[in-house]
A = this chain, B = another copy of it.
Amino acid sequence: MAGSVILPGRAELAALRRRYETELLESVVPFWTRHSPDPVNGGYWNCLDRDGSVYDTTKYGWLQGRQAWMLAKLYRTVDQRREWLELALSGARFLRERCLLPGGRLPFSMTADGRAVYVQRKIFTECFYVLALAELSRATGEAHYAREAEEEFERVWSWAFDWTKVGRPSYPGETPKRSLAVPMILLNLIEELTDGDPRRYSAEVEECLRLVRLHVRRDERLVLETVAPDGGTLDSAEGRLLNPGHAIEAGWFLQQWAQRLGRADLSHEAIEIVRWSFDRGWDEEHGGLFCFLDAKGHSPLPLEWSMKLWWPHAEALYAHLLSWSITRDAADWERFLRTDTWAFSRFPDPAHGEWYGYLDRRGEVTHRFKGGPYKGCFHVPRALWLCGRLLRKLEAER
């Protein structure tokens, strides 16, 4: 397929860049700025129906932190719109002033006014809070955000490799294991925390890079979601599980570190991770990326394995564009275009803005809402912003 791909010239890159910027600034961001603000309590409504109406007032911690991060980032790097900064601050304040629990923990879900509904025995709400604080420290220039971000990160790091510290019990029959999610998200946090100086936390970065690599199976050209503590393969459904979107996201996190650190070996490995995960995860029959696969071809246990979700496609867009910006290989450009064509013809909702989140295997919308417990102002705007920024750079180089 790649053989017939025509590589883009300056005009094509510019047209693409304009489409991404338009989608970001005229469809996606306005959906969230218009419909999500909660003027009474601060923070954001997360459960937004197709047209932006609130169908549930429960708020979700992952998405509060992520949206605050995204809006602060757009304020600082795209356009200093007062509205974006104020809304970013509103989300961070909501988490800090209404939701924060003893010891720096945060709920997964909360009432409109911030009372905990459910606290996950995981570390992710806290991770996304670190992202928000780190970006707000730059967007506002206020040093206390940086300090709070670092303090929260130190806590997250202290919990990250032993979840009994966040209340997860340990049982005698459990298999010791490592999840790709943990070193991945930590690499992303450190990148955001150390925007100015990549050498800070360098021991932590090296450890996370080592841990991510434990999941890579070069001989099989795949990335396992869960492995033994020493990187060995677990003989179970969990040990065979592939999460292509996750691996693709890990790939571009790694690539950004490779670029920051000037490491060609790491860059090459990151490119392979993205290619292998995409090629294996792509549905040859209906197009799009599967949510989950089994490395040995069994049926994956998650019921949604064959659904096509917004976020793996958003991650693939940026991952392929980033790979191509380095390799200039037509096969990477073809993967980018294939994802772009498939995703842009199915996910966006021109009538009300933003993207649908959930499609069936054939690419038909199964859930009409734009925001829910796991979908908010994050993967779509982040990918559009990252792609737009990279396209602008590529355009300038031509």
User: Which A residues form the contact surface with B (CB < 8 A)?
Assistant: 47, 49, 55-58, 107, 109-111, 114-119, 169, 171-175, 236-237, 298-301, 303-307, 358, 360-361, 366-369, 372-373
A-B residue pairs, 7 tightest by C-beta: A115-B173, A111-B173, A299-B367, A116-B171, A303-B304, A117-B173, A56-B237
User: Copy number of this protein in the oligomer?
Assistant: 2
Quote the shortest CB–CB distance from A99 to chain B (angstroms).
9
Q: Majority SS of interface residues in chain A?
A: loop
A117 x B171 contact (CB < 8 A): yes
Q: How far is the CA of A169 from the CA of B107 in the complex (A)?
A: 13
Q: How far is the CA of A173 from the CA of B56 in the complex (A)?
A: 14
Quote the shortest CB–CB distance from A245 to chain B (angstroms).
14
Q: How far is the CA of A300 from the CA of B373 in the complex (A)?
A: 12
A358 x B303 contact (CB < 8 A): yes
A174 x B117 contact (CB < 8 A): yes
Task: List 22 A-B pairs, Cβ < 8 Å.
Answer: A49-B298, A56-B236, A56-B237, A58-B237, A107-B171, A114-B173, A115-B172, A115-B173, A116-B171, A117-B174, A118-B171, A118-B174, A119-B169, A300-B367, A301-B372, A301-B373, A303-B304, A303-B358, A303-B367, A304-B304, A306-B360, A360-B361
Q: Which of B172, B299, B358, B373 contacts A369 (CB 8 A)?
A: B299
- For A58, A304, A367, which residue has the most chain B Cβ atoms within 10 angstroms? A367
- For A300, A303, A307, which residue has the most chain B Cβ atoms within 10 angstroms? A303
Q: How far is the CA of A305 from the CA of B358 in the complex (A)?
A: 12
Which residue of chain B has its CB nearest to the CB of A169? Answer: B119
- Contact A303:B307 (CB < 8 A) given known A115-B171, A119-B169: yes
Which residue of chain B has its CB nearest to the CB of A57? Answer: B236
Question: Which residues of B lie under 8 Å from residue A119 when comparing CB positions?
Answer: 169, 171
- For A111, A172, A299, which residue has the most chain B Cβ atoms within 10 angstroms? A299
Quote the shortest CB–CB distance from A221 to chain B (angstroms).
22
Query: Beyond A55-B298, A58-B237: 11 further Cβ-contacts under 8 Å?
Result: A47-B237, A49-B298, A56-B236, A109-B173, A115-B172, A118-B171, A298-B369, A301-B373, A303-B303, A304-B304, A306-B366
Question: Which residues of B lie under 8 Å from residue A49 when comparing CB positions?
Answer: 298
Q: How far is the CA of A47 from the CA of B118 in the complex (A)?
A: 31
A173 x B107 contact (CB < 8 A): yes
Q: How far is the CA of A305 from the CA of B299 in the complex (A)?
A: 19
B368 x A299 contact (CB < 8 A): yes
Quote the shortest CB–CB distance from A318 to chain B (angstroms).
24
A172 x B116 contact (CB < 8 A): yes
Q: How far is the CA of A372 from the CA of B300 in the complex (A)?
A: 10
Question: Which residues of B lie under 8 Å from residue A111 when comparing CB positions?
Answer: 173
Q: How far is the CA of A34 from the CA of B117 in the complex (A)?
A: 46
Q: How far is the CA of A166 from the CA of B127 in the complex (A)?
A: 29
Quote the shortest CB–CB distance from A149 to chain B (angstroms).
25
Quote the shortest CB–CB distance from A49 to chain B (angstroms).
7
Q: How far is the CA of A117 from the CA of B109 in the complex (A)?
A: 26
Q: How far is the CA of A298 from the CA of B298 in the complex (A)?
A: 33
Q: How far is the CA of A349 from the CA of B171 in the complex (A)?
A: 37
Question: Which residues of B lie under 8 Å from residue A173 when comparing CB positions?
Answer: 107, 109-111, 114-117
- Contact A360:B360 (CB < 8 A) given known A107-B173, A236-B56: yes
Question: Which residues of B lie under 8 Å from residue A298 when comparing CB positions?
Answer: 49, 55, 368-369
